[in-house]
């Protein structure tokens, strides 16, 4: 047998395998990888020989916990500028909707992003990506949606792809074509929806710049009919849907997401029981975003008990964006998901691993520690997995492995 590349011994594994008991935990465990895939995840006593004979590099985890690499499955990480003035306006009593209606909100970031060069956009976004990486993230979803014209939407998605190539993180890109109606289309809504569902979508698909599409279904954004038109066009090109749904009001977003067998319906604070049942039927993941709930001082919580009762997979993400969730730490968000939404630490860890992978269409690739999956894992200096949700702003991984980095390195090394 040729040797494994790395072997961690004396570890405790939170494999997060479904149905394998709390955290899918294995004590007195070892984890090995070879060629960027997990080659062993089990008990030390089941190792097929002496560690030094088995792997090129043997590391002693000294009883630390190893989890799957964390997955942030909903971010708007690529943008220019910031919205700290709006933060102050909200503290002074103005609502998010009122600021948006007055031309601020998403449109203020659209103006800054349109004005930024690709290099500026890359540099500003890279520092945020480093923030996520420090928290143990190995896979991140990045949405467009601050361009709302062809050139800027494409530029955002190119920057997102380049961030993945250069940092070695696994980046999944989402074309958020229907995010806000730009003022130049104020009296031509249908033209804007047609543009985003037609020429811009095709240009993005032609360049392979998006792995999925997303839309913002809300009173201050787009209607169900507009979103359906956009999703149908994407489906015709083989692109799966995700939806910002029922965040500020009940717009039947959960049901619409289910109708299109969307990968996920995100936010869903106001979703009703019928919508949640439909999501369960369709296999649509519920992505909960406590950062936005916290920043907007919302009071309506997502229907966690209903999700549990229907067995809808729950994911948790930062929603990193300049308006409603200027958060670049997934562990901090995990703490919020427990304290604000009442999820258990185990549910939250599943929400940033196994279920987050599913929300990105990556369930066979990453999200659990299982032989054959990508070698994405994090070693944590903790004595219990719940510590991952308990500490705020202080916990750093001891080691992070991301197989996408290996793939990127191989791609750039001449054969």
**By CB neighbour count within 10 A (0-12 exposed, 13-18 middle, 19+ buried), where does 28 fall?**
middle
Query: Which residue in the block uniquely carries the two structure tokens 């709930």?
Result: 293
Q: Is 214 in the site for Fe ion (CB under 5 A)?
A: no
Query: How many residues sit close enough to Fe ion to count as binding (CB under 5 A)?
Result: 1
90 part of the interface to ligand NIG, by CB under 6 A: no
Cα separation of 156 and 75, whole Å? 13
Measuring CA to CA, which residue among 73, 4, 8 is closest to residue 34? Answer: 4
Q: Which stretch binds ligand NIG (CB under 6 A): 40-48, 61-69, 301-309, 322-330?
A: 322-330
- Among residue numbers 201 through 230, which ones bind ligand NIG (CB under 6 A)? 216
Pick from 39, 47, 106, 142: which binds ligand NIG (CB under 6 A)? 106
Nearer to ligand NIG, 322 or 351 (CB): 322
State the DSSP code for 259: H
Indicate the residue among 33 and 319 with the shorter CB distance to Fe ion: 319
Q: Which option in Fe ion, ligand NIG, none does residue 252 bind, with CB closer than 5 to 8 A by kind?
A: none
Using the rule CB under 6 A, give the single segment among 112-120, 183-191, 317-325, 335-343 that binds ligand NIG: 317-325
Contact 353, 68 (CB under 8 A): yes
- Rounded CA separation 103/258 (Å): 32
Q: How many residues bind ligand NIG (CB under 6 A)?
A: 14
Q: Three-class SS of residue 141? A: strand
Question: Shortest Cβ distance from residue 247 to ligand NIG (Å)?
Answer: 6
Binding mask 246-265 for ligand NIG (x = CB under 6 A): -x------------------
| Nearest alpha-carbon partner for 369 in 138, 72, 68, 137 | 68
Nearer to ligand NIG, 243 or 276 (CB): 243
Across 44-181, where does the E strand assignment appear? 55-60, 65-68, 70-72, 137-143, 170-178
Task: Decide: 257 and 241 in contact? Cβ < 8 Å.
Answer: yes
Residue 315 CB, shortest distance to ligand NIG, in Å, is: 14
Of the candidate spans 256-264, 319-327, 360-368, 406-414, the one that interacts with Fe ion by CB under 5 A turns out to be 319-327
Which 158-187 residues touch Fe ion, going by CB under 5 A? none
| Region of 32-40, 103-111, 204-212, 407-415 interacting with ligand NIG (CB under 6 A) | 103-111
Half-sphere exposure of 65 (CA within 13 A, CB side): 22
Backbone φ, ψ for residue 78 (5° rounding): -90, 110
Q: Tell whether residue 319 is a contact of Fe ion (CB under 5 A).
A: yes
359 Cβ contact list (under 8 Å, min separation 6): 73, 74, 141, 242, 263, 264, 285, 287, 313, 315, 317
Q: Which of the stretches 89-97, 162-170, 312-320, 384-392 binds Fe ion when contact is defined by CB under 5 A?
A: 312-320
Cα(366)–Cα(137) distance, integer angstroms: 12
Q: Applying CB under 6 A, which of residues 51, 104, 105, 397 lies at the interface with ligand NIG?
A: 105
Binds 109: which of Fe ion, ligand NIG, none (CB < 5-8 Å by kind) = ligand NIG
Residues in contact with ligand NIG by CB under 6 A are 76, 105-106, 109, 216, 244, 247, 292, 319, 321-325
């Amino acid at each position: 047998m040729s040797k494994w590349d790395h072997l961690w011994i004396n570890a405790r594994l939170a494999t997060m395998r479904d149905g394998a008991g709390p955290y899918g935990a294995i004590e007195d465990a070892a984890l090995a990888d070879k060629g960027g895939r997990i080659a062993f995840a089990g008990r030390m006593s089941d190792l097929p020989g002496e560690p030094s004979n088995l792997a090129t590099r043997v590391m002693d985890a000294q009883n630390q916990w190893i989890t799957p690499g964390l997955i942030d499955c909903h971010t708007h990480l690529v943008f220019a500028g910031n919205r700290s003035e709006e933060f102050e306006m909200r503290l002074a009593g103005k609502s998010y909707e009122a600021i948006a209606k007055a031309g601020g909100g998403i449109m203020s970031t659209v103006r800054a992003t349109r004005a930024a060069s690709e290099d500026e956009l890359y540099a500003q976004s890279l520092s945020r990506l480093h923030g996520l990486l420090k928290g143990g993230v190995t896979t991140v979803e990045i949405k467009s949606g601050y361009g709302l014209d062809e050139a800027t939407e494409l530029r955002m998605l190119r920057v997102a792809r380049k961030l993945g190539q250069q940092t070695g993180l696994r980046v999944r890109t989402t074309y958020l074509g229907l995010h806000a109606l730009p003022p130049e289309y104020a009296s031509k809504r249908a033209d804007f929806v047609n543009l985003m569902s037609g020429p811009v979508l095709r240009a993005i698909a032609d360049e392979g710049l998006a792995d999925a599409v997303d839309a913002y279904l809300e009173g201050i954004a787009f209607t169900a009919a507009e979103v359906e038109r956009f999703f149908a066009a994407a489906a015709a090109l083989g692109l799966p849907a995700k939806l910002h749904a029922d965040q500020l009001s009940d717009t039947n977003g959960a049901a619409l997401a289910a109708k299109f067998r969307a990968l996920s319906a995100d936010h869903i604070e106001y979703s009703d029981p019928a919508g949640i049942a439909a999501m369960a039927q369709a296999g649509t993941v519920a992505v909960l975003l406590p950062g936005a709930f916290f920043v907007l001082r919302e009071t309506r919580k997502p229907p966690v008990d209903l999700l549990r009762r229907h067995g809808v997979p729950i994911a948790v993400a930062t929603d990193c964006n300049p308006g409603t969730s200027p958060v670049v730490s997934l562990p901090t968000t995990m703490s919020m998901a427990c304290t604000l939404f009442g999820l258990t630490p185990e549910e939250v860890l599943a929400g940033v691993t196994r279920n987050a992978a599913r929300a990105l269409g990556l369930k066979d690739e990453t999200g659990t520690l299982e032989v054959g999956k990508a070698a994405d894992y994090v070693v944590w200096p903790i004595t219990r997995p719940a510590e991952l949700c308990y500490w705020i702003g202080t916990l750093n991984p001891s080691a992070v492995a991301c197989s996408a980095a290996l793939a990127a390195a191989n791609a750039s090394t001449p054969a």
